[in-house]
């Protein structure tokens, strides 16, 4: 028989845990979290550095400490969860098929919350020529080796990509006694948070080579070194700028990809920009009753924002099950002049409790620009920022009463202006 569950949450990381708590607070008891790993907490379990929880808990926590807070809340609320369980398929009518050591599970869900997180972009996506020697890892894999397995993957390290995981691992490898020769970044700006650049690179004297990339790796069995080169405005290597660096380890921090294979199976429309679902103000996808939150939706810079967003998604899923929230056609959000995307992509004013947060990222570094929000052709918000960078999410908050001022608005535009 197919088991009936009011809300099935796929993923037991920070997004899934917060969504479960939100759904429970909203009055739903029949909840199930499905996690493929042997423990709850997701990627936080290997993030032993601090810096988590400043927004949610008003104190600085490590990743495991942050995860433990939410795991304790889930257990205190008696929310069931399955570990070591892989979801194989979800359908548009919210049927979930999963498997674990007990066999095949088939669940008829009232609502589904997608909270599968993201994965790292591998070397295969980079087209780096050369052999495939031992010593090339994603930064997250190296993080797991060092922090969970107690294994140091190398002694002389180059990091390709300046995403936050790469920056943090440059510091971590240094603290473990390795020599980090350089962090090499293709773009003319870092993809990580400013605080991580300062705390992980500047404080340890690790050079950051912007507008550079790895063009070749050397070594047959074990990595012996890499050749880097400066790139032009088209991100093509500039001949004559090559530099060879001796190293035994290359860590790749070249982007994260939301895990949306299951989402596509269910017919969820995926954004070409974020590689995550397109959602409305309730975090509901185009498939009624299927919600998305956390890094499966778009890659966040802070886990605190994941928790805030996911708790609301869980509450909205509860409202759907209770018949209080239905699929609706909202006002589209347009982007211009360097704003890459927005989450949500549409807003139904009748579904906003008191306010809605619009999160977005910019395409490049902008200095002394204004973030402006237009309701049709009328500018409602104009807020100056000294600097905006792709590595940090931006947030604009719209209060519910603004829609009373613009009752006939056809579109909302988020743009940057000088």
For 254-288, how does the pLDDT look when each residue is reduced to its tens digit (9 = 90+)? 888 899 999 999 999 999 999 999 999 999 999 99
For 150-191, how does the pLDDT look when each residue is reduced to its tens digit (9 = 90+)? 999 999 999 999 988 999 999 999 999 999 999 999 999 888
For 118-129, how does the pLDDT look when each residue is reduced to its tens digit (9 = 90+)? 988 876 656 777
**pLDDT classification of 297: cutoffs 50, 70, 90:** very high
Class of domain 1-120+255-327: alpha beta
Q: What is the pLDDT of residue 125?
A: 56
pLDDT exceeds 80 at position 328: no
Phi, psi of 174 (to 5 degrees): -65, -45
Q: What is the pLDDT of residue 313?
A: 96
Residue spans per domain, the chain: 1-120+255-327, 122-254, 329-418
- Show the tokens assigned to 227: 């050749």
Q: What is the pLDDT of residue 1?
A: 60
Q: What is the pLDDT of residue 8?
A: 98
For 305-319, how does the pLDDT look when each residue is reduced to its tens digit (9 = 90+)? 999 999 999 999 999
Q: What is the pLDDT of residue 123?
A: 62
Mean pLDDT of the chain: 93
SS3 of 164, please? helix
Give the span between the Cα atoms of 121 and 128, in whole angstroms: 13
Asked if 1-120+255-327 and 122-254 have one fold, the answer is yes
Q: What is the pLDDT of residue 294?
A: 95
For 341-363, how does the pLDDT look when each residue is reduced to its tens digit (9 = 90+)? 999 999 998 888 889 999 999 99
122-254: CATH topology: FAD/NAD(P)-binding domain (3.50.50)
- Mean pLDDT value across residues 13-22: 97
Give the span between the Cα atoms of 198 and 192, in whole angstroms: 10
pLDDT exceeds 70 at position 253: yes
Least confident of 91-100, 302-311, 323-332, 359-368: 323-332
Percent of the chain with pLDDT over 70: 98
Give the span between the Cα atoms of 81 and 17, in whole angstroms: 10
- Show the tokens assigned to 108: 């008829």
Q: How many CA atoms lie within 13 A of 138 on its CB side?
A: 17
- pTM reported for the whole predicted model: 0.91
Give the span between the Cα atoms of 118 and 255, in whole angstroms: 10
Q: Kindly report whether the peptide bond that precedes residue 344 is cis, defined as omega within 30 degrees of 0.
A: yes
Give the span between the Cα atoms of 234 and 231, in whole angstroms: 7
Least confident of 111-120, 129-138, 195-204, 220-229: 129-138
Q: What is the pLDDT of residue 46?
A: 92
């Amino acid at each position: 028989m197919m088991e009936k569950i009011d809300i099935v949450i796929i993923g037991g990381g920070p997004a899934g845990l917060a969504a479960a708590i939100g759904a429970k607070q909203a009055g739903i008891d029949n909840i199930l979290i499905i996690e493929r790993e042997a423990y709850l907490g997701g990627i936080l379990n290997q993030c032993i550095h601090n810096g988590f929880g400043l927004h949610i808990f008003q104190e600085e926590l490590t990743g495991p400490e942050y995860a433990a807070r939410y795991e304790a809340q889930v257990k205190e609320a008696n929310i069931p969860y399955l570990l070591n369980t892989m979801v194989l398929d979800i359908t548009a009518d919210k049927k979930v098929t999963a498997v674990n050591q007990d066999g095949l599970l088939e669940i008829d869900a009232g609502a589904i919350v997608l909270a599968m997180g993201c994965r790292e972009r591998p070397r295969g996506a980079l087209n780096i020529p050369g052999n495939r020697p031992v010593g090339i890892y994603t930064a997250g894999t190296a993080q797991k080796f060092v922090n969970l397995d107690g294994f140091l993957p190398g002694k002389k390290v180059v990091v390709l990509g300046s995403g936050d995981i790469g920056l943090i691992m440059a510091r971590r490898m240094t603290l473990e006694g390795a020599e980090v020769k350089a962090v090499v970044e293709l773009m003319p700006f870092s993809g990580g948070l400013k605080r991580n650049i300062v705390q992980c690179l500047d404080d340890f004297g690790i050079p950051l080579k912007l507008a550079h990339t790895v063009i070749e790796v050397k070594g047959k069995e074990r990595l012996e070194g890499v050749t880097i080169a400066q790139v032009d405005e088209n991100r093509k290597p500039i001949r004559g700028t090559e530099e060879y660096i001796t190293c035994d380890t290359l860590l790749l921090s070249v982007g994260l990809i939301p895990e949306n294979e299951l989402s596509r199976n269910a017919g969820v429309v995926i954004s070409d920009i974020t590689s995550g679902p397109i959602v409305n103000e309730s975090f509901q996808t185009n498939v009624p009753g299927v919600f998305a939150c956390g890094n499966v939706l778009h890659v966040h810079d802070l886990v605190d924002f994941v928790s805030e967003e996911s708790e609301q998604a869980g509450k909205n899923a509860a409202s759907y099950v209770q018949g209080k929230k239905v699929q609706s056609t909202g006002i589209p959000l347009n982007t211009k002049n360097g704003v890459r995307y927005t989450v949500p992509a549409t807003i139904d004013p009748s579904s906003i409790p008191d306010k809605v947060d619009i999160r977005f990222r910019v395409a490049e570094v902008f200095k002394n620009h204004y973030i402006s929000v237009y309701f049709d052709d009328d500018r409602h918000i104009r807020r100056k920022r000294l600097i905006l960078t792709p590595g940090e999410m931006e947030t604009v908050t719209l209060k519910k009463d603004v829609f009373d001022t613009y009752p006939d608005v056809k579109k909302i535009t988020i743009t940057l202006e000088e």
